[in-house]
């Protein structure tokens, strides 16, 4: 049975351009409407089939988009250009900061169908952005539009991901990494809230549970929640065991991730830190008011807008880059 979005469709028209864009972004809604009219339909169909076959795939595709866009190289304009899809010993996908990233086969499947429909037209970078959008909708999240017209980058190296955000970094350092990409503190909080779907591994929990500064567990963990985490990720246990990043809501896109952060039930350390900083705490609290559903900001709509913002980081358009024949290799 097809997965159907459960939230009201939200259409976002955002022309955000981050300060690191080397040229004025030339993205637009319906970029392929005349050159490949079925492009979005094809991507949606592939994503839907993939999510039906693997319930974790929605979160995987959402993460893939983030990792494609959010690379950290001073003075070099890497962004949403499909560089993470390239295969090779020194390619970006093999960087430590990209460990565990998956979903490449889904993008390649969509690309093959698009090449059959309209050869040399749709970029891999756009497929990644559209797939993430569809993954959010298929998880019950907001339905939103993304501007397309990205072109694929011509470089891919592990050095591009040497300074990716890490869950153990101080909150100010994490904030700065997003600000450096032209994203706001609000974007930072909302993009972290993508953890509303998906899992993390016990590998990332060990220090938080057993080796936090002072030799104890992270004090931000609710005492009621701590035994649950320890049971799932016991000391010296299997670090590959996975647990939902949003307690009791692994496959459903909703705002429970924010309530968990507020109440000390955040699984991922960097999520918990959002409630230890005045700026980020205010953003989290802004969605938690008793009348929020009537007069407050809308979590789904704002998340969609932040996704659109992220998807425009250092894009390549016009005559830049290329349209790859296959996503895993340069032409």
Q: Pick out the residues of the known binding site for Ca(2+).
A: 68, 71, 79, 81, 83, 92, 196, 246, 254
Q: How far is CA 35 from CA 29, 31, 45, 130, in A?
A: 13, 8, 19, 17
CB neighbour list of residue 287: distance below 8 Å, 6 or more residues apart = 255, 258, 296, 297, 299, 302
Structure tokens at 174: 């994490």
Contacts 24+ apart (CB under 8 A), 232-235: 232/202, 233/202, 233/205, 233/206, 233/209, 235/206, 235/209, 235/210
Selected catalytic residue, list 65, 67, 94, 98: 67
Phi, psi of 46 (to 5 degrees): -65, -45
The alpha carbons of the chain give a radius of gyration, in whole angstroms, of 19
Which residues carry a binding-site annotation for substrate?
165
Phi, psi of 9 (to 5 degrees): -60, 135
Catalytic residue status for 67: yes
Which residues carry a binding-site annotation?
68, 71, 79, 81, 83, 92, 165, 195-196, 246, 254
Question: What CA–CA distance (Å, rounded) separates 141 from 304?
Answer: 9
CA-wise closest residue to 196 among 131, 282, 284, 311: 284
Which residues carry a binding-site annotation for heme b?
195
**Which are the catalytic amino acids?**
67
């Amino acid at each position: 049975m097809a997965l159907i979005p459960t939230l009201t469709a939200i259409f976002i028209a955002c022309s955000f351009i981050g300060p690191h864009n080397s040229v004025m972004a030339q993205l637009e809604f319906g970029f392929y409407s005349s050159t490949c009219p079925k492009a979005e339909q094809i991507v949606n169909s592939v994503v839907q089939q993939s999510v039906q076959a693997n319930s974790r795939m929605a979160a995987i595709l959402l993460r893939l988009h983030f990792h494609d866009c959010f690379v950290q190289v001073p003075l070099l304009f890497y962004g949403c250009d499909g560089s993470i899809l390239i295969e090779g010993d020194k390619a970006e996908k093999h960087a430590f900061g990209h460990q565990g990233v998956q979903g490449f086969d889904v993008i390649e499947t969509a690309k093959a169908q698009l090449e059959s429909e309209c050869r040399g037209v749709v970029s891999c970078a756009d497929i990644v952005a559209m797939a993430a959008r569809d993954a959010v909708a298929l998880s019950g999240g907001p339905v939103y539009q993304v501007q397309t017209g990205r072109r694929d980058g011509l470089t891919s190296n592990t050095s591009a991901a040497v300074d990716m955000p890490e869950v153990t970094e101080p909150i100010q350092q994490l904030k700065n990494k997003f600000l450096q990409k032209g994203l706001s503190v609000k974007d930072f909080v909302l993009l972290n809230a993508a953890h509303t779907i998906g899992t993390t591994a016990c590998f990332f929990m060990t220090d938080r549970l057993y080796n936090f500064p002072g030799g104890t567990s992270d004090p931000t963990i609710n005492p009621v929640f701590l035994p649950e985490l320890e049971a799932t990720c016991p000391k010296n246990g299997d670090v590959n065991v996975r647990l939902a990043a949003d307690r009791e809501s692994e496959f459903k896109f909703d705002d429970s991730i924010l309530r968990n952060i507020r109440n000390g039930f955040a699984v991922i350390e960097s999520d918990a830190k959002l409630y230890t900083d005045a700026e980020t705490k205010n953003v989290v609290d802004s969605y938690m008011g008793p009348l929020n559903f009537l007069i407050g900001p809308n979590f789904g709509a704002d998340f969609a807008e932040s996704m659109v913002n992220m998807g425009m980081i250092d894009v390549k358009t016009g005559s830049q880059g290329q349209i790859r024949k296959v996503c895993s290799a340069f032409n």
